[in-house]
Amino acid sequence: MIFITVGTQAPFDRLVALIDKWPEINQYECFAQVANSKYIPQNIPFTNFLDERSFNERFDKAKIIISHAGMGTIISCLKSKKIILTLPRLGEYQEHRNNHQLDTTASLAERGYIYPIFNENDLVDRLSKLADLKCLKSIDDYASISLINFIKGELNNH
């Protein structure tokens, strides 16, 4: 299943429309949480908002998450070993106050954590290769022992 989420702060019509207009979208089980979107999906079942339980059920069922570059969603995906594709919200389209999500996406993609989407061509390319995508990296709930020991050592040295 593919779960599309735009978060709860603002709609993200550009993301929802790009996915909804992808010709092969009907071949996949999908569900979208679209916030107060002005764009109404024609090919994807959706809701504006989900309560926490419903959101978690959709999230847990999904193999692939397509989302804005919000850190809450990204961290949840990395902890749950989900495949994540992110399209950053852009200030120039009034999707956010600035382009910090562009920097987040570029940085995490460079480090091999996410599949970035910067435009429609990237999205179509990623979606056409869904069967080949895998979870790139994951993170744990807690710091590693080596990190804890390093911090302890640094604290003891000062």
Q: Does residue 134 surpass a pLDDT of 90?
A: yes
Which domains, from first to last, does the chain contain? Answer: 2-156 (3.40.50.2000)
Q: Does residue 74 surpass a pLDDT of 80?
A: yes
Mean pLDDT score, 89-93: 80
pLDDT band with cut points at 50, 70 and 90 for residue 1: very high
Task: Write the CB contacts of 86 (distance below 8 Å, at least 6 apart in sequence).
Answer: 66, 67, 68, 69, 74, 101, 105, 108, 114, 115, 116, 117
Least confident of 30-34, 98-102, 122-126: 98-102
Mean pLDDT score, 26-48: 93
Q: Does residue 20 surpass a pLDDT of 70?
A: yes
Q: Please, what is the average pLDDT of the chain?
A: 89
Apex 39 CA angle, 33 and 43, nearest 5 = 70
Q: Does residue 89 surpass a pLDDT of 70?
A: yes
Please report the pLDDT score of residue 158 as a whole number: 62
Whole-structure pTM value: 0.86
